[in-house]
Structure 1
């Protein structure tokens, strides 16, 4: 109970990132399934409301429920595309590559700016600094 050696398993950062990525993917797929179920229930409800109950017959579009279901199906297909297609192309590895590209671009720009500063306002060389040093640390006209 009060032993000195505690067996605590620590997860290294790579495993932690993999776990977080897997958890996010599960949440994405769960939300997609919820969207699908809501889409099915909503479509059935729209079909029941318009043709069966006759609600919305005097609406300016005769079969408006078909257009509503088609629009909803389009939005669902966009959701499927984002979860299964876009995530494959733009996963964690893609993000890391983009970050590396941006870091390289910034480093190159910093180097260009440093070269420009070195050309426009060069630092004095060590020999020049030593020649101009006054051992008394007083200006020459004060002596």
Structure 2
């Protein structure tokens, strides 16, 4: 057999081999929302290191008034702070809490309203301290 390349059939128009409707864009390309990187969010988490427990749940807290090795950053469980489904709240809404208070906040038997009150009180105490520690403007001035 003779190897002949691509030969167009007479009488056929091959003006477009690809559909132009798929190449037309309905609108402009939108840029995606910039999500905070690990480095940007970790500064709020790093601020919690070496702090005392701010949740201070009565009858649960193991480190009232002093820094405890089990103190970690506790994220809010409220949807107004960005929590939803499998998403954690934004890193701005974290407070230092001991392991016992963190366990109580996430899995404890207390009603949700009580947990919201405890977290909001802890966040109100923590925000000015964190602002001074990180060199941010204080919440009262903002």
Question: Do these two structures clear the TM 0.5 threshold for a shared fold by scoring above it?
Answer: no
The structure that has the greater radius of gyration is 1
Q: Give TM-score, length-normalised by structure 2.
A: 0.23
Q: Which has the higher helix share?
A: 1
Q: Which has the higher strand share?
A: 2
